[in-house]
Structure 1
Amino acid sequence: MASLLERLTADEAAARQQLADLREQVAALEERLSELSIARKVIEPLLVEESAAQDANESRADQNRRPDPPQSAAHRGRASSDRRDLAGTDEQVVAAMTSAGRPMRAKEVAQALGEPQARGRVEATRARLKKLVTAGWLTQAEPGLFAIAAGWHYSGGDGPPTFGYSATLATAARTRATRGHFPQLALGLVIDTPHKRIGANAITTLQGFLPLGLPVGILAVDRAYTDQAADHFARPARALGFKLALDYKQDQRGVQGSVHGALLIDGNLACPLMPERLAQATTDLDDQTIRTPPEQLTQLIAAREPYWLKLKQGADAHGRIRLQCPAAGTSPSVTCPRFNRLHRAPAAPPTAVDLTNSRQRAAHGAAKPTVILPAGEPLRPPRSKGDPAHICAQTTITLHPDDLGAKDKFRQDPHYLTPAWQDTYKPIRANTECINGRLKGHHIDLGDPKNRLAHGRVAQILLAALMVATANELILLAWRQAHDHHEPPPEDTYAFDAQEPDREPPAASGRPPPGA
């Protein structure tokens, strides 16, 4: 027992000695921390003065040229100021942060520039970063974390990249089937870094329409949006009530995927037995062929029509839609032996057809294409549930928003390259480019940095919004001069056709301008 007490006493003494040593170390560290704090207060102002003197020397070496801030640009993907506007180390800082593609701290930037990791150099880099924030090149989302405010824009052509902001515009447009007249204006604007948050920025502009009670319809966008993840653009746009009209890159055309046994072909679901030459009609076609389809391609696109799945029920509150097999229903568009076998469809009774009536001829089963079964599929196998594909076994399918996964970004409403798609997509895109041209025209010239001399993203957003509003005023003025009058045209020169409300009067109608 005495031996045990001696051991406990020795352990207690050792613990007390260790505690005393630790207290001495803590006291020494606290004294060191106090000294460092005092040194920081003395050195920081000196570093700022050193950085300012260095900047002044670089500025004089560069002929006293101050860097212009990056400026916003008209339409998505346009930029305004180039790399030569930055001088010396400032240019290296922006280039390093642009290459990193993420927010960085001063120590990381100094390391990327090859600076020594001494505290003095890191603090000098921090002072430079704050200067670039003031100039509008960088942003500081949180203390100590810096991000690129603008960025390099790479256009579709072969020209050099430009540095600046990018603007996402939402415009009001009309398709060729739209009845009536209305001014086609720029309705939404978001300024951001080029090639960043493309889909999210588009959704932001569309969400601004909801409080205004503006109608929703077809949303036609360029191919940059087709590349966005479905959760970033396509699904939120549909949730807002918009239908989509899309175009694709060369390697995205043709058969894009499948779901529930149906094929996803150029953004629409089709019968799994659509002939291969029709399903692959657009595969690997270049953009020039798509812009001006030859007669052969036009015929193949038209021949696809009977094989598309039919919309049986529109989207519900959860975005689910019902689609029907083209061989099902009271007015099937194809004759399918597989459908007749699986569903034991009764043979249609003989009916008399008036061969002079084009609608009766087209409605007869003999006038509809017959689906060709695969060579290995027997004509009369035993029927079983789920054989051979869900769409064939059930006649209708429910398509959930996530059934296609990543491929859901390709889904659109009009059938690709059909007259309905051409009459929708092309006029809307043409109007968007027209707005873009107006903003870059000599009256507004949003692309000229001299018209936007204020520094910083906030100032650039305000200036860009004012310039877009001015462009809208000019559009409204031109529209009113063309449409806002009530004097009827002389009956002997022009009369509106009740069947053609969109028809414009001829140039010689002699209508006076407003107030004439």
Structure 2
Amino acid sequence: MTTATRTPHPSQAPCDRLRSGARRADPWKRQGKRGRKVRTLKKKAKYLFGYDAALAVTRDARYDGVLLDNKTPNPDVLPALVLGVCLDKPGCRPAYNGLKVLSRLRQRGYEPGYLAGDLAYNNSEPNEWQLPVRALGYKPVYDYRINQLGKQAETQGAILVEGTWYCPSMPQPLVDATKDLCAERIDRETWIRLIAARKSYRLMPKENEDPEGHQRVMCPAEAGKVQCPIKPRSMGRGIHLPLVDPEPSPAGPPKVCRQRSITLAPAEGAKHWQALEYGDGEWQKIYFRLRNSVEGYNGYAKNPLAEAIEASGTRRIRGIAAQTILLVFQLAHANRRKIKNWVETLALNGERPRRRTHHRRRTKPLGSWTPTGYLAPTG
């Protein structure tokens, strides 16, 4: 499983930057409403010098870092490692740099899997990131900005809600569930129930994707997930199935309701489409494991007592080519250090490990007893 991350411009995420140099506030003035000049300072300071590092970090998202019964790591689950890196100007071409790293990994024979990155990637143009990534065989798993939540696209009557295609008559509270959570109109327990209720309205695949990325999908009434009066044969299947209430229209029902199945092209809703249903247990397990691995590796390689890749003093030479070469050596050393520490904690052939494994608490945290706002553990 592979995940990509971008080390963004310092003004976006200071915890992920690689930088050198100083910063300054904007000295320019602007006109006030009444014509008087008002001196203002930018809220986000601008760094004069620095580079963005796009890192490709790999890990097996099927497993957590849970210890075996003998309190040692599972030897079949490798630690998260960096497989590729690309340096560029701050905030410049994140999609191009990430795609360049992923393409080289495919050329070297690495199998694609789930792919997660920060918001700079899925905010790119579809023909620069989303579509090429899917063409390489990766299955993207995204989070979204606040203004990208809810309904994102529509085709043939079907609606794209947070990356997944649904029935056009899905109730509005289900469509706006995440928006209501962010606006604090509902709590997390209610949000979890609403996300689970979306599954009945999802368009179900009828066939696998063809080599060009097109796929036939069925209306949920045809798949036996809901009851819909437009499809009389779906009625009377039991009260356990939701009853759809289509909105009447002078033009009649949309194509997805008239036909038994429709074809979805890869370009339709490509900017926000993702392989998993946003917010459900599988999405939480895959997305957060991948993102946590990226952030964890960043902190591991920034250790001031080890590689200290964030400190400009560890690479005292100018030029993006020279900086890239030195950074690659630092990351390779971080990989080697991580593998060495992992091997020394394994209990192989019944022998005791050379190093003591970090103790993980098995008791419930204090937050487990909160009445609301608790996300149940998954997987």
Deviates more, 1:274-283 or 1:176-185: 176-185
Query: Which residue of structure 2 aligns with residue 476 of structure 1?
Result: 339
Q: Displacement, 1:314? A: 2.8
- Whether 1:165 aligns to 2:104 is no
Alignment RMSD = 3.0
Secondary structure, in 3 states, of the residue corresponding to 2:345? helix
TM value normalised by structure 2: 0.76
Match of 2:225 among 333, 357, 361: 333
Contact persistence 2:174–2:198 (CA under 8 A): yes
Equivalent position amino acid for 2:197 in 1: A
Unaligned residue ranges in structure 2 (runs of 5+): 1-5, 10-16, 28-41, 65-73, 362-379
Q: Provide the C-alpha distance between the structure 2 equivalents of 1:283 and 1:191, rounded to a whole number of angstroms.
A: 35
1:400 lines up with 2:268 in the alignment: no
**Cα shift at 1:403:** 2.9
Which residue is 1:452 aligned to?
Answer: 315
440-449 or 313-322, larger mean C-alpha shift: 313-322
Cα displacement (A) at 1:366 = 2.5
In 2, distance between residues paired with 1:282 and 1:347? 30
CA distance in 2: counterparts of 1:312 and 1:468, whole angstroms: 44
Structure 2 Cα separation of the partners of residues 254 and 339 of structure 1 = 26
Kept in 1, the 8 Å contact 2:7–2:18? The answer is no
Q: Which amino acid aligns with 1:318?
A: E
Identical amino acids, percent of aligned pairs: 31
User: What is residue 210 of structure 1 aligned with on the other side?
Assistant: 106
Residue 472 of structure 1 and its aligned partner are, at CA, apart by: 0.5
Post-superposition offset of 1:428: 0.7
Partner deviation per Cα, 1:88-109 (whole Å, 9 max, x = no partner): xxxxxxx9xxxxxxxxxxxxxx
* Counterpart among 197, 200, 209 of residue 315 in structure 1: 209
- Counterpart amino acid of 1:80? R
| Alignment partners' CA distance in 1, 2:358 and 2:222 | 47
Q: Which structure has the highest helix share of the two?
A: 1
User: Partner of 1:283: helix, strand, or coil?
Assistant: helix
Task: Describe the SS at the equivalent of 1:273.
Answer: coil
Match for residue 424 of structure 1 among 286, 293, 299? 286
Paired letter, 2:292: A
Deviations 1:264-290 (A, max 9, x none): 101111000001111111226539x79
CA distance in 1, matches of 2:93, 2:234: 54
1:32 paired residue number: none
Question: C-alpha deviations, 1:338-367, integer Å up to 9, x for none?
Answer: 122xxxx3877xxxxxxxxxxxxxxx6321
* Segment of structure 1 superposing worse, 395-404 or 448-457: 395-404
Q: Tell whether the 8 Å contact from 1:75 to 1:436 is kept in structure 2 after alignment.
A: no
For residue 242 of structure 1, the aligned residue among 109, 114, 138 is 138
Q: 1:174 aligns with which of 38, 41, 60?
A: 60
- 1:158-204 residue CA offsets vs partner (Å, 9 max, x unmatched): 66332311100010123255794112101110000111111111111
* Residue correspondence of structure 1 range 265-414 to structure 2 within 5 A: 265-283=161-179, 285-286=181-182, 294-329=188-223, 332-340=224-232, 345=233, 365-374=238-247, 376=248, 387-404=252-269, 408-414=270-276
Question: How many residue pairs end up in the alignment?
Answer: 317
Counterpart of 1:202 in 2: which secondary structure? helix
Other-structure match for 1:465: 328
Partners in 2 of 1:481 and 1:197 — Cα distance? 40
Sort the Cα spacing of 1:484 and 1:301 in 2 relative to 1 into closer, same or farther, 3 A.
same
Deviation of 1:228 after TM superposition, in Å, equals 0.4
After TM superposition, give the deviation of residue 293 of structure 1 in Å.
6.3
Q: Which has the larger radius of gyration?
A: 1
TM-score of the superposed pair, with normalisation by structure 1:
0.57
Alpha-carbon separation, structure 1, partners of 2:346 and 2:108: 24
Q: CA deviation at 1:223?
A: 1.1
Instruction: Answer 1 or 2: which has greater strand percent.
Output: 2
Q: Is the 8 A contact 1:172 1:186 kept in 2?
A: yes
SS of the residue aligned with 2:61? coil
Question: How far is 1:468 from its partner?
Answer: 0.7
The superposition leaves residues 65-87 of structure 1 with CA deviations (integer Å, 9 ceiling, x where unpaired) of xxxxxxxxx934424123469xx
- Structure 2 partner of 1:194: 90
| Offset of residue 258 of structure 1 | 0.5
Does the 8 Å CA contact 1:320/1:401 hold for their aligned counterparts?
A: yes
Change (3 A) 1:270 1:488: farther
CA deviation after TM superposition for structure 1 residue 417, in Å:
0.7
Task: Report the counterpart of residue 227 of structure 1 in structure 2.
Answer: 123
Stretch moving more, 218-227 or 478-487: 478-487
Q: Does 1:485 align with 2:370?
A: no
**1:20-59 matches, cutoff 5 A:** none
CA distance in 1, matches of 2:197, 2:295: 32
Q: Structure 1 260/252 Cα, relative in aligned 2: closer, same or farther at 3 Å? A: same
Q: What SS does structure 1 have at the residue aligned with 2:56?
A: strand
Aligned 8 A contact 1:267 1:410 in 2: yes
Contact 1:255-1:265 at 8 Å conserved across structures = yes
Residue aligned with 1:186, SS:
strand
Match for residue 7 of structure 2 among 75, 79, 83: 75
C-alpha change, 1:284 and 1:242, in structure 2 (3 Å) is: same
8 Å Cα contact 1:255-1:283 kept in structure 2: no
Cα distance in 2 between the residues matched to 1:224 and 1:413: 18
Task: Tell me which amino acid in the other structure corresponds to 2:272.
Answer: F
Q: Kindly indicate whether the alpha-carbon contact (under 8 Å) linking 2:158 and 2:168 is maintained by their aligned counterparts in 1.
A: yes
